Amino acid sequence: MMTDEEKRKKRALSDLRMQSLKHHVLVCNGGCCVKNGSGGLIEAFRSAVSEANAADFIRITETKCTGRCIDSCSVVVYPEGVWYRNIRTEHVALIVQEHLLRGNVVPELVSYVCRNGKFVKLSSDPLEGLSQL
């Protein structure tokens, strides 16, 4: 059991980390996504973020089902509210390098984006979706 002092220190460290956080990546770990390899995605994201020395400002979180089985494996990036679809381990480096480090959403992998507080489905044609990003 943690002492009050240990809890205080842990809370202070957590508060510092939240202040430096730029992106929160949610990796679905629901049934359909697990069947499509989400466990490998979580490790691939954590590894890519670590290799980029970006763990201080990018957090990777494994979630329960996000309700988008049709898009499995789904990955959501906040604060932008970008929902990526059909993600496999071979997409991870691109998402980390382009979106998380350079700020460029990867439109060909996006299903939904948040616009004016609402999630908007992008066109199935990735080139048409470019104008929406």
State pLDDT tens for residues 1-21.
Answer: 889 999 999 888 888 888 889
Distance CA 45, CA 57 (A): 13
Q: Is the pLDDT of residue 129 over 60?
A: no
Q: Is the pLDDT of residue 126 over 70?
A: no
pLDDT number for residue 120:
92
pLDDT number for residue 130:
47
Distance CA 35, CA 32 (A): 5
First to last CA, the chain: 48
Nearest to 73 by CA among 93, 52, 90: 90
Average pLDDT, the chain: 90
Please report which confidence band the pLDDT of residue 127 belongs to, taking 50, 70 and 90 as the band edges. very low
Q: Which domains does the chain have, with CATH numbers?
A: 22-132 (3.40.30.10)
Q: Is the pLDDT of residue 24 over 90?
A: yes
pLDDT number for residue 124:
58
What is the pTM (predicted TM-score) of this model? 0.83
Write the burial class of residue 1 (CB in 10 Å: 0-12 exposed, 13-18 middle, 19+ buried).
Answer: exposed
β-strands 75-78, 82-84: how paired? antiparallel
Cβ(107)–Cβ(117) below 8 Å: no
